[in-house]
Amino acid sequence: MGCVYLMAVDLPLSKSTHFAQTHVWAHRGGAEGLKLPENSPKAVARSFAAGFSGVELDVFYDLDRKSVIVSHDRPYVRHQGKIISLRDLVIPEQSWVWLDLKNLDEMNVKDIAEFVNVLSDLELAERTYVESPEFMELVSLDQHGAATVYWMSADHERSPFYFIAIKSLTWLFGIDAVSISYQNLDVVRKHFGASSIFTFTVNSKAEVCRLVEIKAVAVILTKLAYTHGNTGDFCAH
């Protein structure tokens, strides 16, 4: 048991050469730094135009509309009077999306299959990572072909048994990566390889660049507006 606790686990994401280096993506579409509404089409478009290679978005899968709605809360946030779906956003080719799926716990197997089909129809399935704290539903998403990120609730107070369980389960069921708040990143880095970790939200350029330099994680979310998805450009400005 002690060996399992001490060993850092590499999850499937670590096999991707793309994530061998650390990437910097825009939090909630990069809205705060741009002074634009969060998760809005304008924020997403501006973030990609600035050079980000990926954005993080809050979404719900609407079971009635059969649509991925971009909103942090319900009732859904409207932009210029309109409810925004993932279909309304322009995601450039070879760009990435981190979806914080807010209602995965409400979805059954059929709903999960429909959700993955929507991503496929939008040609986003191969470049989207779906995040949730709902472990068994994430497993179902993974089984339907989605790339998955388990949102960990971990801090210094967690027992060794928690980390043994999470490492064992994520590895066994093929979850692609884990996510953790920046405040607790050091706790999780002891247990997972760098290319298996997403972290949020780092808003000091110096700290972002330090994490990039040491290749601490696969993806960093930031609210900073002047950053570039190409990590070399980010730290050169």
- Return the pLDDT at 29: 83
For residue 145, pLDDT beyond 70: yes
Mean pLDDT of the 78-82 span: 94
For residue 98, pLDDT beyond 60: yes
Q: What is the DSSP letter of 202?
A: -
- Return the pLDDT at 227: 46
Mean pLDDT of the 107-129 span: 97
Where are the chain's structural domains?
A: 2-236
Mean pLDDT of the 99-124 span: 98
Report pLDDT digits (tens) over 39-51.
999 999 989 988 8
Which CATH architecture best describes the domain 2-236? Alpha-Beta Barrel (3.20)
For residue 66, pLDDT beyond 70: yes
Q: What is the distance between the alpha carbons of residues 81 and 235, in angstroms, rounded to a whole number?
A: 38
Q: What is the distance between the alpha carbons of residues 101 and 131, in angstroms, rounded to a whole number?
A: 6
One-letter amino acid at 223 equals K
State the CB neighbour count (10 A cutoff) for residue 17. Answer: 7
Comparison of pLDDT for 175 and 33, the residue scoring more: 175
Tokens linked to 51? 């050079």
Q: What is the distance between the alpha carbons of residues 43 and 40, in angstroms, rounded to a whole number?
A: 5
Mean pLDDT of the 53-69 span: 97
For residue 2, pLDDT beyond 50: no
One-letter amino acid at 132 equals S
Report pLDDT digits (tens) over 216-226.
999 999 998 75
Q: What is the distance between the alpha carbons of residues 228 and 7, in angstroms, rounded to a whole number?
A: 33
- Return the pLDDT at 225: 73
